[in-house]
Structure 1
Amino acid sequence: MTEITCTYTGDGETALVHGPTGTTLKTDLPPDNGGKGRCFSPTDLLAAAFASCTLTIMGKMAAARGDDFTGAHLSIQKIMAANPRRVGEFVLDITFPAHFTQEQKKFYLSAVNACPVHQTLSKDVKLTVRVL
């Protein structure tokens, strides 16, 4: 179990502390929801968690197989929906190392579904995955 504490610091911002390490980060309301967008929004953190979870799992898979995963890159877009306001879609653009074959790429794409963040999302959240 990991504890994260969150304190409202005013003006739409919060401060978060990762209990085990003391690492901190801040959030702010996004401009499209009345905030100033000075840092990650809470839903930005969800997108970041999904991206880092997916790429971390791919890296772990590569280490187990002895594949060089250096240079892999994932970009994620978060698209909001309304009524209720929520994340409606994630678009993942994945760039694999140049030496990867199509078979390797297909194998590593299984990490998207294996990611616990993805498994936690509502089935109503649309997912688009593109390999660049």
Structure 2
Amino acid sequence: MPTVKTSYLGDLRTSSIHLQSGNQLITDAPTDNMGKGEAFSPTDLLATATGTCMLTTMAIVAQRDEIELAGSEVEVTKIMSQTPPRKVARLEINLKMKANIALSAEQIKKLENTAHKCPVSLSLHPDVEQVVNIEWL
């Protein structure tokens, strides 16, 4: 069974439906590539998927150890290649982590290792540079 169904709406815009939940997502081509930039671009979604995957997998591991990471955030800066072919060249990922308890060095290491091994991050081509900074607040 498909996961997502996407329709091209014209004017460089798509509408995607997550078939399990019915949630909808609109994409636009970015302004630097003939688009309006009024919604996420496909490469914005790649950046978003990487950051949210890191945060989510860290939360899964934390939850198993009865640690709550609510209030944690991730910011991702996407940098496109300057030479053809057009592609994401670099992702700068800044995680600002909050935990409900004081964490040991071992717990922090376990959670940080989890971030680097999230499925999206591991699925990216090795040419996509991933610079990850994790700050514990």
The TM-score normalised by the length of structure 1 is 0.91
Describe the superposition over 1:62-99 as per-residue Cα deviations: whole angstroms up to 9, x where unpaired. Answer: 10011121211111111111311000011111111165
Question: Which runs of no fewer than 5 residues in structure 2 stay unpaired?
Answer: none
- Counterpart of 2:97, as a letter, is F
The separation in 2 between residues aligned to 1:100 and 1:30, in whole angstroms, is 42
Pairwise CA RMSD:
1.6
Question: 1:52 — aligned with what?
Answer: 52
Question: 1:111 — aligned with what?
Answer: 114
- Counterpart of 2:87, as a letter, is R
SS of residue paired to 1:85: coil
Q: Percent identity?
A: 36
Give yes or no for the alignment of 1:130 onto 2:126: no
Shift of 1:102: 6.7
- Counterpart of 2:66, as a letter, is G
Shift of 1:2: 4.5
Q: Count residues in correspondence.
A: 132
- Determine if contact 1:96/1:105 at 8 Å carries over to the other structure: no
* Runs of 4+ in structure 1 over 3 Å off: 98-102
Distance 1:33 1:42, change over 3 A: same
